[in-house]
């Protein structure tokens, strides 16, 4: 592999399990990254001043202070608050995932670790960080130049025209960064950062007159078997093709979010349970009817299981809404898969 084409940087991996370290250290080092290792949260915090990492891969469950507290302390310190933190976790509880983002993580990967996914997420967040730093530096210099040249506007009018063009280009770059920050690199649709931003705006525990919001969790049935058969690269392509199928059934105001792994969230603003259920039924049928990896002549078929909850009917806030839909998804899986479970107890085959 030609590592010269990749963005390089220093990654601090914090994990007390040697097996997990062995999976990642050599793999990332071979791809041009400098690797530092810590076995617990306190030693990670202590060595940051020496290793100067650009990004931290942080295990959630560790001896001493856990990953959540470690991240909270890093974000509370001025010198480390800017560092991107990606959690590594085997936790499947929605509340724990939400907690990770609340303490300042930018992303998470689930165990068992998939090396290609870790590389993709690390590369994305390092690129975002470097772009943000560059833009901040360019913006600061640009603002200073504007102030200086305004003092001699008549003599420097031509230079101001150039600065305006630079400002326009800078704005375009910011728009690119903003889009990257809320885009999932596998599916091309929204990521969990967007999900929480959207729900924070639309779902409130104090707004008695809030409009309805239906939320759907779904994931692919038996997707591990598909990946074991066809490999991770083609598995990722199936995830992208499934997302395209689902998006076909959505209205312009709806949003599709890849939550992680083969799990997605569909946001249906201003839609009550009845209308949302009808749409989810169409999506379920469409996913099952589609044929995937046709270009590779593999003609794979998959099904999906769904969990539907509606705000404020089934939940008073963001966390409750996510948890209610997640519980319904679990119920669908337990009921035989390729089904829809609705908050309140109904299961639709």
For residue 99, the model assigns a pLDDT of 87
pTM over 0.75: no
For residue 63, the model assigns a pLDDT of 87
As a dihedral over the C-alpha atoms of residue 187, residue 11, residue 46, residue 92, rounded to 10 degrees, the angle is 30
pLDDT over threshold 90, residue 38: yes
Mean pLDDT, residues 297-305: 96
- Helix or strand (DSSP H, E) at 29: helix 18-29
How many Cα atoms within 13 Å fall on the side-chain side of residue 151? 4
Q: Are 349 and 288 in contact (CB under 8 A)?
A: no
137 by Cβ neighbours in 10 Å (0-12 / 13-18 / 19+) ranks as exposed
Q: Are 240 and 220 in contact (CB under 8 A)?
A: no
* 181-185, 210-214, 218-222, range with the lowest pLDDT: 181-185
- Domain residue spans in the chain? 8-113, 120-181, 192-348
pLDDT over threshold 80, residue 189: yes
Tell me: the pLDDT tens digits for 133-159?
A: 888 888 888 888 888 888 776 766 777
Q: Which CATH superfamily is domain 192-348 in?
A: Reverse transcriptase/Diguanylate cyclase domain (3.30.70.270)
In angstroms, rounded to a whole number, what is the distance separating the alpha carbons of residues 63 and 67? 9
Provide the 10 A C-beta neighbour count for residue 332: 28
Please indicate whether residue 332 or residue 178 has the higher confidence score (pLDDT). Answer: 332
In angstroms, rounded to a whole number, what is the distance separating the alpha carbons of residues 25 and 12? 10
In angstroms, rounded to a whole number, what is the distance separating the alpha carbons of residues 191 and 203? 18
Strands 213-220 and 263-269: antiparallel
Provide the 10 A C-beta neighbour count for residue 122: 25
pLDDT over threshold 80, residue 265: yes
Of 256, 252, 232, 259, residue with least CA distance to 244: 256
Using alpha carbons only, how large is the chain's radius of gyration in Å? 23
Of 327, 284, 274, 321, residue with least CA distance to 305: 284
Fold of 8-113: Rossmann fold (3.40.50)
- Measure the CA angle with vertex 157, ends 151 and 159; round to 5°: 95
Distance between start and end Cα atoms, the chain: 47
Q: Are 202 and 194 in contact (CB under 8 A)?
A: no
Tell me: the pLDDT tens digits for 8-20?
A: 799 999 999 898 8
**Token pair in block for residue 85:** 């933190």
CA–chain centroid gap for 180, Å, is 11
């Amino acid at each position: 592999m030609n590592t010269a084409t990749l963005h390089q940087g220093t990654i601090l991996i914090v994990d007390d399990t040697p097996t997990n370290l062995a999976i990642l250290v050599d793999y990332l080092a071979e791809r041009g990254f400098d690797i530092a290792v810590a076995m617990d949260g306190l030693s990670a915090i202590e060595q940051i001043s020496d290793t100067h990492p650009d990004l931290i891969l942080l295990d959630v469950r560790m001896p001493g202070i856990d990953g959540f507290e470690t991240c909270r302390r890093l974000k509370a310190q001025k010198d480390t608050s800017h560092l991107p933190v990606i959690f590594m976790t085997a936790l499947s509880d929605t509340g724990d995932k939400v907690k990770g983002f609340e303490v300042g993580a930018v992303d998470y990967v689930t165990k068992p670790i998939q090396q290609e996914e870790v590389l993709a997420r690390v590369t994305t967040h390092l690129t975002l960080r470097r772009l943000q730093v560059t833009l901040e530096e360019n913006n600061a210099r640009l603002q200073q130049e504007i102030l200086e040249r305004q003092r001699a506007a008549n003599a420097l009018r031509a230079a101001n025209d150039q600065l305006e063009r630079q400002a326009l280009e800078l704005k375009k770059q910011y728009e690119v960064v903003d889009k990257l920050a809320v885009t999932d690199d596998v599916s091309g649709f929204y990521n969990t950062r967007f999900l929480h931003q959207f729900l924070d705006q639309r779902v409130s525990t104090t707004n008695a007159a809030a409009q309805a919001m239906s939320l759907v969790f779904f994931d692919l049935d038996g997707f591990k078997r598909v990946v074991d058969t066809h490999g991770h690269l083609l598995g990722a392509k199936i995830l992208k093709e499934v997302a395209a199928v689902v998006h076909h059934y959505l209205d312009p105001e709806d949003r599709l979010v890849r939550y992680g792994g083969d799990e997605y969230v569909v946001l249906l603003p201003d839609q009550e349970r009845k209308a949302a259920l009808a749409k989810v039924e169409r999506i379920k049928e469409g996913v099952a009817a589609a044929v995937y990896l046709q270009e590779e002549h593999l003609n794979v078929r998959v099904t999906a299981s769904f969990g539907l909850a509606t705000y404020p009917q089934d939940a008073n806030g963001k966390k409750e809404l996510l948890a209610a839909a997640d519980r319904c998804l679990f119920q669908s899986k337990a009921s035989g898969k390729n089904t829809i479970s609705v908050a309140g107890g109904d299961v639709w085959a």
